[in-house]
Chains A and B, each alone.
With several copies, the nearest count.
Chain A
Amino acid sequence: MAVDAKQLAAERAARLKAAVELKEPDRVPFTGIGGDVIAAYAGITSYEFNFDYEKQCQAIIKYVKDFPSDQPVIGMTGLGNHVASMAFSDYPDLYPIISRVDGPTNDILGVDYCRFPGRELDENSSPQFIGREYMSAEEYDELIADPVKFCFEKILPRIVRAFRDMKAPEAHAAMARLALEKAKAGAAMRDMFRQLQELGYAPGGLSVFFAPLDFIGDQLRDIPNLIKDLRRYPDKVKAATEAVLEPLLKVSVNAKGPGVETAMIPLHLNEYLSPALYNEFYWPTLKEGILRLAELGMKSQVFFEGRHDAHLETILELPAGWGTAYFEKTDVRKAKKLLQGHTCIMGGIDVGMVISSTPAKLDEYIKEILGEMMPGGGFILAPNIGNLPRETPIENIRAVYEAVEKYGKY
């Protein structure tokens, strides 16, 4: 690896680390912006991006070369397979092959909640999670008694077509095929990460942790049912969140590895819940999860999807320097007033602006946001949601990168 690439990688890592440690780095750390646009920029369909490993890697390398940032922008090529991660949480070596469902994996497994371009969707659509009710309210006690066994025996067969009958040869063949397919994917990824290293990006990635109530809402009961459960079976829901906490932590540890010391925590139900419900059902086990991850040597990067304004103060219950709060709709300026010096704040770029605005306006927009957020450090510039659509004007993207280059210096 060329010397300057190694040096560049070290600088980028230090920049991000300084922000997370609430200091002022040399420049504002910028995660870069991308998503479905990566495939469009390389002239391939989303289907090809999701199903052809070589084309996917080439598209990512081309995009990252033209739009360098502090983290490689690799787009979204699949969905979490969180029930499977829990069901096999006692088999850490399986984590890399069962934790995510990309296009080819879905062809093998047939996961009920997955929709992929070129399959259930048109070839330029993006992969989507469409969950439904996989667990009935009567099954709360079983979930509470043994979440891992329950997820394996009851839920997995309901969400994975290949596991409809766990005893059958189809289920066992699917596992073997999955490993063989993931090996192919792994080979392509290794090649891509080698090229990324040459472009000055240190290898690594993010582990994942799931807020216990989100796990129940997204993966088991479906959100509308879960919300009604809060009123009808409050004690069972609470007991369930405590029961699933331990295995969910085990999953996060399974994902830990060299260069993978941060757990990404995507929140979904936060925006749905009133403060009362949030504080009674959602926050206690999420908070305990973040604290336990810290004990396990992992920082947390919580993605507060939607509007988190009503629950912002609860973040102060965490120890200073606990990690990063990544905001989608909550105004980062408002968050900074409350959390400066306690929590590293991430976000700031409204994807809607990048899609609809003009290069000149975007230059002004970035200048203004950086002017307000950079002082005092503890800030990472990122898009409020991780996916720029295919038709996002390239000149707008370039304008953002140029503006960050211009105004990003401390």
Chain B
Amino acid sequence: MREQLLKSFVDMDEQEAVKIARELVETDGGAVAVLDTCKEAMEEVGRLFEAGEYFLSELIAAGDMFNQIMEFTLPKLQGEEVASLGTMVLGTVQGDVHNIGKDIFKVMAEASGINVIDIGIDVPHEKFVEAIKEHKPELVGMCCLITLGVDSMKRTIEVIKEAGLRDDIKIIIGGGRVSQAVMEHVGADAWADDAARGVRLSKELLGKE
């Protein structure tokens, strides 16, 4: 059953994957099995994306399937603690109000076991600092779609330094306009301009790859 769920999920066969997951989750220990299989499937989809075989269309479809299945699986997991790889505070920087990139990344990050705290779009610098103090995350993710975000990221990281929090966290920047040069310019630890790469690098920063 797990094999069929994994295969249908990775092959983007929505009806099939949801059908099998519904059956499996009813069997005892089924919920955990479904969750792990879906995580594995999402990882496989990410790998196919980075290999250039899958594209954003597949990432979005996968994220949508993952959410559908989690809707009837997570309630059954109340008992067992879901092993989380770590916590990430995620937000789109000030002046940028796009969220499409952030949302695709969030689904995949959660699917890979990262506990994501989403603090929204157009996020002022101080709000990042408050979120870091409150949730004590290992990771901070800063998204931006337009080039204007580059400067916001730089200023946000400076404010985090001034608050003496820089060394407690790893910072990854993401979005259409980031690159190695931009990462060095703003002083972040990693960059990704697609969700799959972002999840992979986040796990590396958590020392989990």
User: Which A residue's beta carbon lies closest to that of B194?
Assistant: A307
B148 pairs with A389, CB closer than 8 A = yes
For the complex, is B64 an interface residue (Cβ under 8 Å from A)? yes
* Cross-interface CB contact of B181 among A228, A356, A385, cutoff 8 Å: A356
Q: Which of B16-64 contact A (CB under 8 A)?
A: 52-58, 60-61, 64
* Cross-interface CB contact of B61 among A223, A227, A355, A388, cutoff 8 Å: A227
The 6 A-B pairs of least Cβ separation, nearest first, read A356-B185, A272-B56, A125-B95, A352-B179, A391-B151, A274-B55
For the complex, is A408 an interface residue (Cβ under 8 Å from B)? no
CB distance from B45 to the nearest CB of A (A): 12
* Cross-interface CB contact of A224 among B14, B54, B60, cutoff 8 Å: B60
B148 pairs with A230, CB closer than 8 A = no
Name A's B-contacting residues (CB within 8 A): 35-36, 115, 120-122, 124-126, 128, 130, 223-224, 227-228, 230-231, 271-274, 277, 306, 309-310, 329, 350-353, 355-357, 385, 387-391
A355 pairs with B185, CB closer than 8 A = yes
B184 pairs with A356, CB closer than 8 A = yes
Cα distance A24–B148 in the bound complex, in angstroms? 35
Total of A-B residue pairs, C-beta within 8 Å: 99
* Cross-interface CB contact of B96 among A128, A309, A351, A355, cutoff 8 Å: A128
User: Which A residue's beta carbon lies closest to that of B55?
Assistant: A274
B14 pairs with A356, CB closer than 8 A = no
CB distance from B121 to the nearest CB of A (A): 9
Chain B residues closer than 8 Å to A272, beta-carbon distance: 55-57, 60
Interface string of B91-104 (1 = CB under 8 A from A): 00011111010010
B177 pairs with A124, CB closer than 8 A = no
For the complex, is B12 an interface residue (Cβ under 8 Å from A)? yes
* Cross-interface CB contact of B148 among A352, A357, A390, cutoff 8 Å: A390
* Cross-interface CB contact of A273 among B55, B146, B177, B182, cutoff 8 Å: B55
Chain B residues closer than 8 Å to A227, beta-carbon distance: 56-57, 60-61
Known: A350-B181, A352-B179, A385-B177. A228 touches B64 (CB 8 A): yes
Chain A residues closer than 8 Å to B100, beta-carbon distance: 223-224
Cα distance A270–B143 in the bound complex, in angstroms? 21
For the complex, is B178 an interface residue (Cβ under 8 Å from A)? yes
CB distance from B189 to the nearest CB of A (A): 16
Most chain A CB within 10 A, of B148, B176, B185, is at B148
Chain B residues closer than 8 Å to A230, beta-carbon distance: 57
Chain B residues closer than 8 Å to A388, beta-carbon distance: 147
